[in-house]
Chain A
Amino acid sequence: MSNFNEDTVRRHTIAILVDNEAGVLARVIGLFSGRGYNIESLTVAEVDPREQLSRITIVTSGTPMVIEQIKAQLRRLVPVHKVSDLTVEGPSVSRELALVKVSSIGEKRVESLRIADIFRARVVDSTNESFVFEIVGATEKLDAFVNLMEPLGLVDVSRTGVAAIARGPNPI
């Protein structure tokens, strides 16, 4: 197949619906590390308590052949219900949340607050010499915000990793 001969490495966001049982995350992560695929971001949480299903969102990158292989290997795991490549299966929305701690006083402190305002980041903790901002958005937006905070006293960042979902009325 012609597209498999492509060597271009692309980033893909893959959503996986799995049984929420012991060891299932280890199966997925073990598959990635064992076969040498890389994980750029990973999030997981239960999404259907009645059916006991969890949703894992993985951002990974590879050539078309590698991405195909990743999806096939994921589908081979017994507790995996569904694998969906949000990057190729139509439009999707993806969001990430970050908590960003900035420690500074004076002009820098004021400037950090001003930028936070522009990015629609919220202050969730404050002392005389620090803020913790909460920011939600696409990965690139969070990257930009963190970069701007760097000279303003950035001391700590905690990011959730990407959560993503397809646009339109249909479920995964």
Chain B
Amino acid sequence: MVQEAMTGAEIVLKALVDQGVEVIFGYPGGAVLPLYDELFKQNKLRHVLVRHEQAALHAAEGYARSTGKVGCVLVTSGPGATNAVTGLLDAMCDSVPLVCLCGQVPTHLIGNDAFQEADTTGITRPCTKHNYLVKDVNKLARVVHEAFYVARTGRPGPVVIDLPKDVLVTRGEYVGPAKVKHKSYKPQVKADPKLVEQMAEMLSQAKRPIFYIGGGVVNSGPAASQLLTQFIHTTGYPCTQTLMGLGAFPGSDPQSLGMVGMHGTYESNMAMHGSDLMICIGARFDDRVTGRLNAFAPNSKKIHVDIDPSSINKNVAVDLAVIGDVAHVLEDLTKIWKAKQYRADEKALKVWWAQIEQWRAKDCLRFVQSNKVIKPQHAIKRIYELTRGHDTYFTTEVGQHQMWAAQFLKFEEPNRWMTSGGLGTMGYGLPAAMGVQLAHPDSLVIDISGEASVQMNIQELSTLCQYQLPVKIFILNNQYMGMVRQWQELLHGGRYSQSYSEALPDFVKLADAYGAVGFRVDQVGDLDGAIEEMIKLKRTVIVDCRVDSSENCFPMIPSGAAHNEMLLGPSDEADKPVSEDGMVLV
């Protein structure tokens, strides 16, 4: 069949539409003008114009993580591509499926230090799952389809396609997305049944088990969360979640111990430390989770379920590795558990839960309420309580506010919580919220923010207003880069080097200048009213919430310490000084 030849730009857009892309976040420039010209002529794809390329990536991440679809980005060559790098690595670290189209100088100029030229494939190689430079227009369609396939399958991640300008204007052949069969890339979805059987047996013999679940469960899709929740209910075992795994198991479920790790709950970390069987599902033994490695859960056998074989035995050697997609593994596990009529050891489990309840009774998230100044924890608690019953999505920036949000917000289902975990990118939350709101126009989308982080992508207020996206930006303003200040207090003798937020803008006026609504709250008694007002307004809102500037985030495993050496509060600090080894850790 002879197909009418299309230009490269037409091919790209047709491939995107055939891949089901509805929204593309981008910023035009010389090298991508042919694509923008095609965008102009059509109405199937909605283009959202950001104000900085980094924000396009985070917006696409928010879009992808709240929908489970692949996020799509279009940027120009040179600075467009280099501005995208942070967002690409952020998506890489948190396994978010993205396809980023980058303009490139024409093929005959590549390598000539041409205007706005960058070695985009070279620069993005270590921060993408895969990247392509397309020099032949006849390979273009296939590459775009393959890019989407690579981005969303296996352990998801960002994929870059570098598009020289001449390829975009040359005519070539289009092929449809009909099953991309990749020769070498074949992620393993179904696990070895023998290993799952072994897993079931180990689970049935555990005396002090704990499920430690992460973002992989969310990435596997809502079915994975359901299957996992059912299985955990069947066993009666406790479950702790990583920062990325919040919502994969219902946060208010009595079997949920909350978050694990550096700022996780006391009961989670103590249960990890004291367990005799750890079942890690879709998590990766990150250093924020494990604390000091040689003291990490010393007496537990460990099972690790992951779709990415390179996550196995990377930081922690495990006793049983099950490679496969979480949903598939859990389906098989549930069947085997039923077929073999396995039962949890009720007697042992009762003792284990009694111990966990003792840890829980420490009430590690307690804070001293004040009626003079708003405590940041209290503000987040009230946001949680006042948004219950709403169809709410949360994003965060990075720092103390992020950890408090992780501690005090509870998520009953996956895809509701968007935060920068692996890379810890300040400035993530505002643009991510933008992407979430575009995907869910009628939902309540709140960016829990700090006054320092929010300024890293504050220009996106302009985008929010242009597209009338009613994102709520709730700034916990303590006039410090709070987490930096906390570490300086703990590790550097309270010398607050460069962590004070001086010359802050007036956020109320700033909101006004962009065409958003802004208000300030600094009295405890006004807090609820402000939150309710924020929820009610169907516009972009900034709330400048002035909070206690000296509050620290507890509990905390200081760097270089083990799970059972947690600091529960300020009074604990003096007894447990940070070790010299810990000083050099991040």
Contact A72 B309 (CB under 8 A): yes
Taking CB atoms, residues of chain A closer than 8 Å to B317 are 1, 4-5, 65
Query: Which residues 78-123 in B have Cβ within 8 Å of A in the complex?
Result: 121-122
B39 to chain A, nearest CB (A): 28
Contact A19 B183 (CB under 8 A): yes
> With the chains together, A4 CA to B319 CA distance in Å?
10
Q: Which of A27, A65, A80 contacts B184 (CB 8 A)?
A: A80
Contact A72 B310 (CB under 8 A): yes
Taking CB atoms, residues of chain A closer than 8 Å to B313 are 1, 4, 65, 68-69
Taking CB atoms, residues of chain A closer than 8 Å to B319 are 1
B392 to chain A, nearest CB (A): 36
> With the chains together, A78 CA to B314 CA distance in Å?
20
| B126: Cβ under 8 A from any A Cβ | yes
| B308: Cβ under 8 A from any A Cβ | yes
* Smallest CB gap from A74: residue in B: B310
Contact A23 B125 (CB under 8 A): yes
Taking CB atoms, residues of chain B closer than 8 Å to A1 are 313, 317-319
Taking CB atoms, residues of chain A closer than 8 Å to B314 are 69, 72
Given contacts A19-B184, A26-B125, A27-B125, contact A69 B310 (CB under 8 A): yes
> With the chains together, A34 CA to B312 CA distance in Å?
19
Given contacts A26-B122, A30-B126, contact A76 B309 (CB under 8 A): yes
> With the chains together, A161 CA to B566 CA distance in Å?
51
| B483: Cβ under 8 A from any A Cβ | no
Contact B150 A78 (CB under 8 A): yes
Contact A78 B309 (CB under 8 A): no
Query: Which residues 301-329 in B have Cβ within 8 Å of A in the complex?
Result: 308-310, 312-314, 317-319
Contact A78 B184 (CB under 8 A): yes
B interface footprint on A46-75 (CB within 8 Å = 1, 0 otherwise): 000000000000000000010011001101
| B185: Cβ under 8 A from any A Cβ | yes
B294 to chain A, nearest CB (A): 11
Instruction: Among B129, B183, B312, find the residue whose CB has the most chain A CB atoms closer than 10 A.
Output: B183
| A22: Cβ under 8 A from any B Cβ | yes
* Smallest CB gap from B311: residue in A: A72
* Smallest CB gap from B320: residue in A: A1
> With the chains together, A19 CA to B150 CA distance in Å?
16
Contact B129 A78 (CB under 8 A): yes
B568 to chain A, nearest CB (A): 33
> With the chains together, A69 CA to B316 CA distance in Å?
12
Taking CB atoms, residues of chain B closer than 8 Å to A65 are 313, 317
A interface footprint on B522-565 (CB within 8 Å = 1, 0 otherwise): 00000000000000000000000000000000000000000000
Query: Which residues 98-152 in A have Cβ within 8 Å of B in the complex?
Result: none
A14 to chain B, nearest CB (A): 15
A172 to chain B, nearest CB (A): 13
Q: Which of A5, A23, A75, A77 contacts B121 (CB 8 A)?
A: A23
Taking CB atoms, residues of chain A closer than 8 Å to B51 are none
Instruction: Among A72, A73, A77, A79, find the residue whose CB has the most chain B CB atoms closer than 10 A.
Output: A72
With an 8 Å Cβ cutoff, the count of chain B residues facing the other chain is 21
| B171: Cβ under 8 A from any A Cβ | no
| B381: Cβ under 8 A from any A Cβ | no
Taking CB atoms, residues of chain A closer than 8 Å to B310 are 69, 72-73, 75-76
| B292: Cβ under 8 A from any A Cβ | no
> With the chains together, A65 CA to B315 CA distance in Å?
9
Taking CB atoms, residues of chain A closer than 8 Å to B183 are 19, 81
* Smallest CB gap from A2: residue in B: B317
> With the chains together, A146 CA to B273 CA distance in Å?
55
> With the chains together, A79 CA to B309 CA distance in Å?
16
B interface footprint on A70-98 (CB within 8 Å = 1, 0 otherwise): 00110111111100000000000000000
Instruction: Among A4, A69, A76, find the residue whose CB has the most chain B CB atoms closer than 10 A.
Output: A76
| B190: Cβ under 8 A from any A Cβ | no
Taking CB atoms, residues of chain B closer than 8 Å to A78 are 129-130, 150, 182, 184-185
A25 to chain B, nearest CB (A): 11
> With the chains together, A19 CA to B183 CA distance in Å?
9
B118 to chain A, nearest CB (A): 15
B188 to chain A, nearest CB (A): 10
Taking CB atoms, residues of chain A closer than 8 Å to B309 are 72, 75-76
Taking CB atoms, residues of chain A closer than 8 Å to B133 are 22-23
B97 to chain A, nearest CB (A): 14
* Smallest CB gap from A5: residue in B: B317
> With the chains together, A19 CA to B132 CA distance in Å?
13
* Smallest CB gap from A26: residue in B: B125
Taking CB atoms, residues of chain A closer than 8 Å to B125 are 23, 26-27, 30
> With the chains together, A27 CA to B122 CA distance in Å?
9
> With the chains together, A1 CA to B312 CA distance in Å?
12
B interface footprint on A16-58 (CB within 8 Å = 1, 0 otherwise): 0011001100110010001000000000000000000000000
> With the chains together, A1 CA to B150 CA distance in Å?
32
Taking CB atoms, residues of chain B closer than 8 Å to A81 are 183-184
Instruction: Among B184, B308, B317, find the residue whose CB has the most chain A CB atoms closer than 10 A.
Output: B184
Q: A4-B317, A27-B125 are in contact. List 6 more A-B contacts (CB 8 A).
A: A22-B133, A23-B121, A34-B126, A69-B310, A78-B150, A81-B183
Q: List 28 A-B contacts (CB under 8 A).
A: A1-B317, A1-B318, A4-B313, A4-B317, A5-B317, A18-B184, A23-B121, A23-B122, A23-B133, A26-B122, A27-B125, A30-B125, A65-B313, A65-B317, A68-B313, A69-B310, A69-B313, A72-B310, A75-B309, A75-B310, A76-B308, A76-B309, A77-B130, A78-B129, A78-B150, A78-B185, A79-B184, A81-B184
A-B pairs with lowest CB-CB distance, top 9: A72-B310, A4-B317, A78-B130, A81-B184, A72-B309, A78-B185, A73-B310, A76-B310, A34-B126
Task: Report A's interface with B, CB cutoff 8 A.
Answer: 1, 4-5, 18-19, 22-23, 26-27, 30, 34, 65, 68-69, 72-73, 75-81
